[in-house]
A = this chain, B = another copy of it.
């Protein structure tokens, strides 16, 4: 690293967040005369579009979550730090973070890029987080996987039919791409993957509901693709309720309100895919710069992604409201590249800045085995073709050939050959924590043990 031992202090760029935005701005500065410090709460970049496959037990998280420092290891002017950023001082140009052992860390910047993403939003009902977990991080996805798999385990153990039905009822709230992908996976698990694994329950009896407040599934997609998705999901055994909102929930049920009035559905497993909320850093930046935030907490930035009055501070990705772009990977990636170019231009003394322009490459979602919808290149594609397009594009965007080949292999294995789900680990401790926390005691008193009947009788 001797090439870095320069006496003169270089221009310091601090990037907050190692998602699509942060990683792309870092890459774009590879040959610039700057030092880049990328700070993230985790040690890994997460390829979020495939996260639902971790929740479904298809992919191990490692394939879609490479260590950030490993991704940037060849970029000599960049380093990665594991710390939690909690304050941004725009006057002193200091990023304040907490190191894992609780000690404060201060990073001085000349240029700051905040790409801190978004998290779930429960629309003010934060107490629902416990009952209906969402999926934004690797830990979230593992947790969902544990919950889904545990539900089938508990159904197998249940002796009371009503209780078994509760464990076999799954409700996914929100029918955007994530909700559709998750509900499709639950349906595949119940109907295709798991039936032969269980003896006392028929997992095909699982009741799988998808709730959506809008009049149709996949609200931003065109009607043709919505209709295809709706029909396909119904064919997979998913009960779809559009125009329907969750209005209440506890650890045993969810109450929904739709065209037919209110109904309480008994269920042990609720999955939240309904709303997102920008990182709290967006609000903080807004307060410090006088910028506005929208209902989802996203900060309004200038057309060049800078903050009002702070040309040295950029904000990009899901935490930003710019041209009503969707909260997906492409805008964040393109904004990251753009900001990198702007910073390089400034260092080269080039003051002209074209506003950021988004190139829409389209959008897509998988529904299930061999079924997807894609709205790209002016075409509306459904079915197997969309499925293959989806797979091809997502593997292409993964980081590293090793992960691409590993993912392709795992898909082949999971989808084509054995319909297996290779990553299904749960332990008693995890199961206990979840079963106890999310399942209140039932009528059967704890001191009357369920004397499990012999296999031959239970299977009846």
Contact = CB atoms under 8 A, between A and B. Distances in A.
Contact of A43 (B41, B149, B196): B149
Contacts of A455: 4, 10, 12, 35-37, 77-79
Contacts of A422: 62-63, 66, 402-403, 406
Contacts of A264: none
| The 10 A-B residue pairs with the shortest CB-CB distance in the complex, in nearest-first order | A60-B60, A62-B423, A100-B431, A104-B449, A101-B435, A35-B455, A79-B199, A41-B428, A100-B435, A4-B459
Interface residues of A, number: 96
Given A36-B455, A60-B61, 19 more contacts: A4-B199, A4-B455, A5-B460, A37-B452, A43-B431, A44-B425, A62-B423, A63-B422, A81-B452, A82-B428, A100-B154, A101-B436, A103-B449, A104-B450, A106-B450, A108-B454, A137-B427, A405-B409, A405-B413
A401 B197 CA distance: 18
B35 A105 contact: no
Interface stretch (A111-119, A320-328, A439-447): A439-447
7 contacts: A5-B459, A12-B454, A41-B428, A42-B427, A43-B149, A101-B435, A406-B422
Given A9-B454, A43-B426, A105-B450, A99 B157 contact: yes
Interface of A is mostly: mixed
A293 to B, nearest CB: 24
B9 A100 contact: no
Contacts of A457: 9
A196 B410 CA distance: 29
B428 A402 contact: no
A200 interface: yes
B81 A157 contact: yes
Copy number in the complex reads: 2
A96 interface: yes
B69 A197 contact: yes
A123 interface: no
A226 interface: no
A70 B199 CA distance: 12
Contact of A70 (B10, B424, B434): B424
A457 B82 CA distance: 19
Tell which of A423, A436, A456 has the most Cβ of chain B within 10 Å.
A456
A30 interface: no
A65 B425 contact: yes
B101 A43 contact: no
Given A108-B451, A139-B427, A199-B1, A100 B459 contact: no
Interface string A329-362: 0000000000000000000000000000000000
A149 B57 CA distance: 24
A126 interface: no
Contacts of A65: 425
Contact of A406 (B79, B84, B410): B410
A44 B422 CA distance: 11
